[in-house]
Amino acid sequence: MAGKKVFITGMSGYLAGNLCRELDRSDWCENFFGMDVKKPLYKYDKCEFRQMDINDPGLLDWVAELKPDILIHLAYVVPEMHDHGLMHHINFDGSRNALAAAEAGKVSQVLVASSGTAYGAWPDNPAALKEDHALRANPGFIYAVDKVKVEDLCRESVKKHPQVIMTIIRPCVVYGPRVDNYISNLLDHYFILGLRGYNPPLQFVHEDDVAAAIIHLAQKGCAGAFNLAPEDTITMEEVYALSRKPTIPFPDWFLTPMVALQWALRIPTLNFSTAFLDYIRYPWVMDNSRIRATGFRFRYSSRETVELMLRAKAWLP
């Protein structure tokens, strides 16, 4: 059986790095194609790359010409931008353009990276969120709000093209040596700002497991949404302790206005506004039984993922 032809948006991002390396050495993938606004760090034997914006109308023509078997949509801005309108344009409109390109290319399977943050972090969340739980992203946290809207686009696409396999992944906090996200940046400073009185359980998935899950779901042609999170949890206080960095636990009444002020003044100490704080106040633990039912197994636990990341940053021996 001939190998698959795969198209990847956001090929230069941290989620795509391990994925591309696996595709490059996999017999299952005959060749793959990718685009991003930045060039990737590595060159791959089986890949053709084009430097392109996710909203470029030329994306439709290129995918229509290639007619790939699978389109994997990873292009998305993670760090919060002060210009929420521009961030929405890149993330939401860009996702709409990617889905239109998949339609133009008559792609048989589309895999879209959403996020566990789309569930929202709320005090009344169940002990483990399942895929059919309502998506209640916390208002103001535009990263997660737009993830919900992108999933709405995916559902609309399925209604129009029921023959297409639509796969949505919802990772928890992704960690690894190449990761750059809200919590990894929070731990990058000499001392860590904590939130006194809040210590919710969290899950951390290794970037290698995310790449493996994407390939697994694509190979098996699995449709629907899948939570990507190991079974164990670790609290923020445990993460702080593992980092062995000085931690200053501020009360909510002080930390929230402090974060608001540094965001308003564009001080680069933190790269998020106050809306993100809910995700270290309240739980958003996910159930992973649906992806495990497909035969997938996580290589790393949440604790192992955190420890590996800390060692990679030379914070642990």
Residue 243 has pLDDT above 90, yes or no: no
Closest by alpha carbon to 208, among 305, 111, 110, 83? 305
Q: How confident is the model at residue 269 (pLDDT cuts 50, 70, 90)?
A: confident
Cβ count near 59 (within 10 Å)? 25
Residue extents of the structural domains in the chain? 4-239+274-312
What percent of the chain is modeled with pLDDT above 90?
75
Q: What is the mean pLDDT of the chain?
A: 91
Least confident of 53-57, 77-81, 156-160: 77-81
pLDDT at 111: 98
CA distances from 279 to 89, 128, 199, 283 (A): 24, 15, 10, 7
Band of the pLDDT at 267, cuts 50, 70, 90?
Answer: confident
Average pLDDT over residues 247-274: 87
pLDDT band at 1 (very low <50, low <70, confident <90, very high): very low
Q: Is the pLDDT at 245 greater than 50, yes or no?
A: yes
Q: What is the pLDDT of residue 299?
A: 96
Of residues 175 and 89, more confidence is placed in 89
**What predicted TM-score, i.e. pTM, was given to this entire model?**
0.94
The confidence score (pLDDT) of residue 291 equals: 98
Residue 34 reports pLDDT greater than 90? yes
pLDDT band at 35 (very low <50, low <70, confident <90, very high): very high
Please give the CATH number for the structural domain made up of 4-239+274-312.
3.40.50.720
- Residue 271 is predicted with a pLDDT of 75
